[in-house]
Amino acid sequence: MRLRRVTAASVAVTVVIAAVIALLPLTLSNYHRATGASVAVFFIAILALNIVTGYTGQISIGHGAFMAVGGYTTAILTHDHGWSDLPTLPAAAVVGFVAGVIVGLPALRFHGVYLALTTFAVALAVPQLAKNYPNFTGGTEGLALPTHSGLWLYEVGWAVAGVMFVIAWFLLRGRTGRAFRAVRDSEVAAASSGVTLAVYKTVAFGISAAMAGVAGSVYVLVNNFVNPDVFGLTLSLYILIGAVVGGLGSLWGVLVGAAFIQLLPIALTTSHISSSQSVPVIFGAVVIGVMALLPLGAANLLRVALHFGSQSRQSSDIHLGTEGR
């Protein structure tokens, strides 16, 4: 009974949030609509990271690389092969999935901190590869894409984000989601209950990377160009910050995390309290402050405040290192 009530409440809140997001562009300028679209991009990317890190417990600092793969898929298909924009999104998902599986397979052997640093290296290597093969990717100068109105970007971005959210929700609440969480909470216990670790970890990486690929596609559409610096190191770090600030292992937190990493710097830049030089200083300090005050992220604040559901296992249980000595 309790479970059903919680699900109903979740659905109701989700519908309200979706309605607000759908109606918001009516009150926004064209510029702010494009900003809203980029929040959608980070929403998808953080959602993707949450599947593999928040729910399956495999830390990835490399999701910028999967976004790059998806973004370049879209850019190359539209620029060189005459595709129109939207059909490239499924293609980016497929290419992202393949990239995720390729990274996920060696990652099976790594745990905790080694996995984190391996994925970090992937995030660094991919833009360098893009620079090194200019015939294919446009090199440092990159590729230009057709421009779109802010409203179009907003609608496409959030529509895609909505689809991804629904996919993630169905994926995570069912059998697969239970298996993911089992892997996160205890690999040994999961394996002894019949969860094939290799399969589920690889699948988690693949699905997550596919979503990140889609996020990269939309990102490229919003920016209407692509070059290796777009997918630099900071992108991966910001996605991880967003996921943890929002709350790992929570679909609620994704929206908060996306707004945090995308809107806070913009708000700081436009406000009068800071010059553009001091924005990273304040942003970094805020990140540290949030981690000190809300180590489990904004989602946990919501959960505690509203008593939503039972306390499930939370991000504090994800260890970067290995278990205690």
Partner 1 sequence: MTAVVAALERRLWFRPSTSWIVPAALVGVAVFLVVGSLRSSLFAQQTISGLANGGIYASLAVALVLIYRATEVINFAQGALATFTTYVAWQLMAWGLSYWPAFACTLGIAFAGGFLVELVAIRPVERRGSQITAVIAAIGLLILVEGSVGWIWGNQVKFMPAPFPSHIYNVGGVAFSRQDLSTIGISIAAVLVLWLFFRFTKVGLAMRAAAVRPQAARLVGVRVSWMLSFGWGLAAVLGAVAGMMAAASPSVLLQPSMMDGILIYAFAAAVVGGLESAAGAVIGALLIGVLLNLLGSYVSWVTPQLLLPVAFVVMLIVLLVKPSGLFGRTRVRRV
Residues contributing to the site for partner 1 (CB under 8 A): 59, 106, 109-111, 113-114, 116-118, 120-122, 124-125, 128-129, 131-132, 186, 188-189, 233, 237, 240-241, 244-245, 248, 277-281, 283-288, 291-292, 295-296, 315-323, 325
* Alpha carbon distance, N-terminus to C-terminus of the chain: 41
Nearer Cβ to partner 1, position 237 or 266? Answer: 237
Cβ neighbours, 10 Å, residue 16: 10
Give the nearest distance from C-beta 133 to partner 1 in angstroms: 9
d(C-alpha 178, C-alpha 130), whole Å: 37
Give the nearest distance from C-beta 244 to partner 1 in angstroms: 5
Determine the distance from the C-alpha atom of residue 223 to the mean position of all C-alpha atoms in its chain, rounded to a whole number.
17
**Tokens at 224, concatenated:** 């209407």
Determine the distance from the C-alpha atom of residue 84 to the mean position of all C-alpha atoms in its chain, rounded to a whole number.
25
Cβ neighbours, 10 Å, residue 14: 16
d(C-alpha 236, C-alpha 29), whole Å: 29
Nearer Cβ to partner 1, position 20 or 188? Answer: 188
Nearer Cβ to partner 1, position 265 or 309? Answer: 265
Give the nearest distance from C-beta 278 to partner 1 in angstroms: 5
Nearer Cβ to partner 1, position 186 or 224? Answer: 186
**202 close to 12: Cβ distance less than 8 angstroms:** no
**Tokens at 319, concatenated:** 């260890």
Enclosing H/E stretch for 28: none
**220 close to 144: Cβ distance less than 8 angstroms:** no
The one-letter amino acid at 191: A
Give the nearest distance from C-beta 139 to partner 1 in angstroms: 9
Radius of gyration of the CA atoms of the chain, in A? 19
Nearer Cβ to partner 1, position 92 or 245? Answer: 245
The one-letter amino acid at 171: L
Give the nearest distance from C-beta 22 to partner 1 in angstroms: 31
DSSP state letter for 146:
-
Give the nearest distance from C-beta 156 to partner 1 in angstroms: 30
Give the nearest distance from C-beta 295 to partner 1 in angstroms: 3
DSSP state letter for 143:
E
Nearer Cβ to partner 1, position 90 or 295? Answer: 295
d(C-alpha 156, C-alpha 226), whole Å: 18
Nearer Cβ to partner 1, position 227 or 315? Answer: 315
Give the nearest distance from C-beta 103 to partner 1 in angstroms: 10
What ranges in 186-297 are assigned the alpha helix state H?
187-192, 197-223, 233-246, 252-270, 279-293
Instruction: Classify the C-alpha dihedral 292-279-214-137 as positive or negative.
Output: negative
Give the nearest distance from C-beta 94 to partner 1 in angstroms: 23
Nearer Cβ to partner 1, position 48 or 122? Answer: 122
Nearer Cβ to partner 1, position 11 or 317? Answer: 317
